[in-house]
Amino acid sequence: MSVPPESVIPPPPPSEPPMASGPSAEERQWAMFAHLSALVGLLIPFGSIIGPLVIWLIKKDTMPFVNDQGKEALNFNITMGIAAIVCSMLMLILIGFLLLPVLVILWLVFVIIGTIKANEGTAYRYPFTLRLVS
């Protein structure tokens, strides 16, 4: 006795692999702290480099998103430190007096944008950044 092909139930489709979710809430929080820690530089000399460096060194092996964003924050703040030194030297020919306040405002705006993006779970890339730490 044979079964007609119309009555054969087709096999279920293969299950799809689970969608890769974004960074966890804890990873997003630590990445946000990596960006925000640069504001320590307003109180402590070189704090804008030390803050992201410490968070990156602590969390880089356990949280990939924090590793990426910590390096990004560190690279950006090193770049801004170099730019601040150049602006300070340019004060001898007076143009540094105009460039340094612009640099500080851009630094503050980009740190805030990076903080917001990290909190959203988006990998943020700062513009005009030398990628020294990779």
Structural domain range at position 57: 25-120
In a domain? residue 76: yes
% of the chain at pLDDT higher than 90: 75
In a domain? residue 47: yes
pLDDT computed for residue 18 by the predictor: 47
In a domain? residue 60: yes
Contact (CB, 8 A) for 74 and 53? yes
pLDDT computed for residue 45 by the predictor: 87
Amino acid sitting at position 74: L
In a domain? residue 7: no
Total domain count, the chain? 1
What is the average pLDDT score of the chain? Answer: 88
Rg (CA), the chain: 24
pLDDT computed for residue 49 by the predictor: 94
Q: What's this model's pTM, rounded to 2 decimal places?
A: 0.81
In a domain? residue 89: yes
For the residues 3-9, what does the mean pLDDT come to? Answer: 62
| Reported confidence tier of residue 12, pLDDT bands at 50, 70, 90 | low
Cα gap 83→105, rounded to integer Å? 13
Contact (CB, 8 A) for 11 and 45? no
Contact (CB, 8 A) for 52 and 38? yes
In a domain? residue 3: no
| Model pLDDT for residues 51-103, shown as the tens digit of each residue | 999 999 999 999 999 999 999 999 999 999 999 999 999 999 999 899 999 99
In a domain? residue 4: no
pLDDT computed for residue 108 by the predictor: 95
In a domain? residue 35: yes
